[in-house]
Chains A and B, each alone.
Chain A
Amino acid sequence: MSLKTNRDHRVSPIVESLPPSGIRKFFELVANTKGVISLGIGEPDFVTPWHIREACLYSLEQGYTMYTSNSGLPELRSEITKFLVRSYELDYDYDKEIIVTIGASEAVDAALRAIITPGDEVIIPEPSYVSYMPCAVLAGAEPIIVDTFARDDFRLKPEHIERKITPKTKAIILCYPNNPTGAVMGREDLEEIAALAVENDLIVISDEIYSELTYNGRHVSMASIPGMKERTILVNGFSKAWAMTGWRIGFAAGPEDIIGAMVKIHQYTILCAPVMAQMAALEALKNGGDEVEKMVLQYDQRRRFVVNRLTEIGLDCFEPRGAFYAFPSVKITGMNSGEFAEELLREEKVAVVPGDAFGRAGEGFIRISYAASMKNLTKAMDKIEAFVGRRVKTVSNLCQV
């Protein structure tokens, strides 16, 4: 190493190399526009169900204000294992194979840091949630981006990744149901990817944070595919299904050696997840099923409405089967994602997220979150219709000239 150390850099060049979070300029534009109807929000519009909030209040009254064990309250870890058994018939040891984290976010970060040796390659399918690539880079990995396509309903196909696998490939990050596309992967889709993972001895980090939000058909966990449990780090949490984003609580389940390594990192960097959020999560798992079901029903109804309207408007949209996003193409308007989002905001005061915020494979699409009231969805769709109507007319006029 050169003696001329890096004092020139106050901020680490690795951090500097990371893209500024998402598309900050556009975000600021939205924040500075008054009276916006936002379909750009990646979190539930529901407030956490009252019984969960009430359980937290009760725990505070009882004096639950201390650190917990590093890996989380044993009762909560035990409830998490029960959840995994009843959802996917997956059997984990709550003592050695579960860690409670600060949201799925920390779980993804710790998982990457636990397995990466600098120089390892990590495959990330795009369009993708924004934090995987930066977390991989911070862990010292080389992110290998693979594109997925609307023609495959944004599912990951083995032929997309086969050619990208090298001797340095360590892991694949999967996120289904997907943010931003709403895509899901069925058992057979997962089996094809699993075969590659087994053949090449890869670890799969499976972010299943939207697992409970699926429509027509239940979620299948990657860890439940034969041969995958020993090589899958299953990440999940409470933010989406239980509408608990602000509580910052999630978990990971996986093989003992990897979870052990994650606990080691977590014990030095985090110590433990906040106890009040853990108490709330415990209540969510024990008694939250009915509320989740009600919210899923509402998301499903809005989803059908939005997809129907988008199709009528003429924005091509594959049917999203999970999460709370629709990901229509804006190609007929002749605009790219960024232009579409900015001009829609300026002219109609409707905010959507341009697809390229989720990687280059998202260019030409916009993400519409239907975690919004029917009233706002109805208004926003009418406005999008008017906007697209004007643009498409202009495009056809130009063609005639």
Chain B
Amino acid sequence: MIVRKRILELLENDSKLTDYQISTMLGMKKEEVKKEIGEMEEEGIILRYSTLVNWEKAGVEKVSALIDVKVVPQRDVGFDEIAERIYRFPEVRSVILMSGGYDLSVEVMGKSIKEVARFISQKLATIEHVQSTMTHFVLKRYKQHGVILNDKEKDRRQVICP
């Protein structure tokens, strides 16, 4: 299991690492790494290899909102069924069940404020058992998935030293 954890940690940080690199870094055989990764893809542990993009820097306008959703849990299925009705929408980037003052935290992304607002009022708020929504528009992202978006830290070392 520790091997899987180590492979996942490496890939989560850099999905472009090759089987060869991973195998040498962990002191394994290349075939073993290939096999483990293949199995984890099969098992749905590795879901996809994606890229973390700073869209603002790329000059692409994206509007996101975080919405606190209060719901009435349903007998037998609890929150899961309502969550599913929400996460099936492609506009929804993430759905998280929360402890505290509300139930689901939903991130919605769209091309404009209008588009996002329309989705919330017409689609999200009207779902049965959704009691209330509180929408917070994202103004600026500083850090995402553990990565600082505009990091001023760089290699300041002398080019060579004993």
Interface residues of chain A, those whose CB is within 8 Å of chain B, are 21-22, 26-27, 30-31, 36, 38, 40-43, 45, 47, 129-130, 179-180, 301-302, 304-305, 308-309, 351, 353, 357-358, 374, 378
State whether the Cβ of B26 lies closer than 8 Å to any Cβ in chain A: yes
A378–B162 CB distance below 8 A: no
| Chain B, Cβ-Cβ closest to A357 | B162
B25–A42 CB distance below 8 A: no
| Chain B, Cβ-Cβ closest to A300 | B25
A-B contact pairs, 26 of them (CB 8 A): A22-B162, A26-B160, A30-B160, A31-B158, A31-B159, A40-B160, A41-B157, A41-B159, A41-B160, A41-B161, A43-B157, A45-B157, A47-B153, A130-B162, A179-B162, A180-B162, A301-B25, A302-B25, A304-B24, A305-B25, A308-B24, A309-B24, A351-B160, A353-B160, A374-B21, A374-B25
- Choice from A36, A43, A304, A378 contacting B161 with Cβ under 8 Å: A43
For residue B157, which residues in chain A have a CB less than 8 angstroms away from its CB? Answer: 38, 41, 43, 45
Which one of B157, B160, B162 has the greatest number of beta carbons of chain A within 10 Å? B160
For residue B14, which residues in chain A have a CB less than 8 angstroms away from its CB? Answer: 374
| Chain B, Cβ-Cβ closest to A351 | B160
C-alpha gap A43/B162 in the complex (Å): 9
C-alpha gap A27/B162 in the complex (Å): 10
Smallest CB separation, A368 vs chain B (Å): 12
For residue B160, which residues in chain A have a CB less than 8 angstroms away from its CB? Answer: 26-27, 30-31, 38, 40-41, 351, 353
C-alpha gap A180/B24 in the complex (Å): 22
State whether the Cβ of B27 lies closer than 8 Å to any Cβ in chain A: yes
A301–B159 CB distance below 8 A: no
Smallest CB separation, B9 vs chain A (Å): 9
B26–A301 CB distance below 8 A: yes
The interface size bin for chain B is 10 to 19
State whether the Cβ of B76 lies closer than 8 Å to any Cβ in chain A: no
C-alpha gap A129/B161 in the complex (Å): 11
Smallest CB separation, A76 vs chain B (Å): 26
For residue A305, which residues in chain B have a CB less than 8 angstroms away from its CB? Answer: 21, 24-25
State whether the Cβ of B155 lies closer than 8 Å to any Cβ in chain A: yes
For residue A302, which residues in chain B have a CB less than 8 angstroms away from its CB? Answer: 25
Which one of A41, A180, A357 has the greatest number of beta carbons of chain B within 10 Å? A41
C-alpha gap A45/B24 in the complex (Å): 21
A301–B161 CB distance below 8 A: no
For residue A353, which residues in chain B have a CB less than 8 angstroms away from its CB? Answer: 160, 162
A38–B159 CB distance below 8 A: yes
- Choice from B24, B26, B27, B159 contacting A40 with Cβ under 8 Å: B159
A42–B24 CB distance below 8 A: no
Smallest CB separation, B25 vs chain A (Å): 4
Please encode chain B, from 10 to 22, with 1 for each CB lying within 8 Å of some chain A CB and 0 for all others: 1000100100010
C-alpha gap A45/B14 in the complex (Å): 18
For residue A130, which residues in chain B have a CB less than 8 angstroms away from its CB? Answer: 162
Smallest CB separation, B40 vs chain A (Å): 19
Smallest CB separation, A335 vs chain B (Å): 19
B1-39 interface (Cβ within 8 A of A): 10, 14, 17, 21, 24-27
Smallest CB separation, A306 vs chain B (Å): 9
Beyond A38-B159, A308-B24, A353-B160, 17 additional pairs, beta carbon < 8 A? A30-B159, A31-B159, A31-B160, A40-B161, A41-B159, A42-B162, A45-B157, A179-B162, A301-B10, A301-B26, A304-B27, A305-B21, A305-B24, A309-B24, A357-B162, A374-B14, A378-B21
For residue B10, which residues in chain A have a CB less than 8 angstroms away from its CB? Answer: 301
Smallest CB separation, A313 vs chain B (Å): 13
Closest 4 CB pairs of A and B: A301-B25, A40-B160, A308-B24, A305-B24
- Choice from B17, B21, B158 contacting A41 with Cβ under 8 Å: B158
C-alpha gap A308/B20 in the complex (Å): 10
Smallest CB separation, A324 vs chain B (Å): 13
A42–B161 CB distance below 8 A: yes
C-alpha gap A225/B152 in the complex (Å): 46
C-alpha gap A47/B21 in the complex (Å): 24
| Chain A, Cβ-Cβ closest to B161 | A42
C-alpha gap A326/B96 in the complex (Å): 46
Smallest CB separation, B31 vs chain A (Å): 15
For residue A38, which residues in chain B have a CB less than 8 angstroms away from its CB? Answer: 157, 159-160
For residue B161, which residues in chain A have a CB less than 8 angstroms away from its CB? Answer: 40-43
C-alpha gap A251/B69 in the complex (Å): 56
C-alpha gap A41/B162 in the complex (Å): 7
C-alpha gap A305/B24 in the complex (Å): 5
Smallest CB separation, A311 vs chain B (Å): 10
B162–A129 CB distance below 8 A: yes
C-alpha gap A56/B47 in the complex (Å): 41
C-alpha gap A130/B161 in the complex (Å): 10
| Chain B, Cβ-Cβ closest to A345 | B160
A36–B162 CB distance below 8 A: no
A304-B25 contact in complex given A374-B14, A374-B17, C-beta closer than 8 Å: yes
Smallest CB separation, A109 vs chain B (Å): 16
C-alpha gap A21/B162 in the complex (Å): 9
B114-162 interface (Cβ within 8 A of A): 153, 155, 157-162
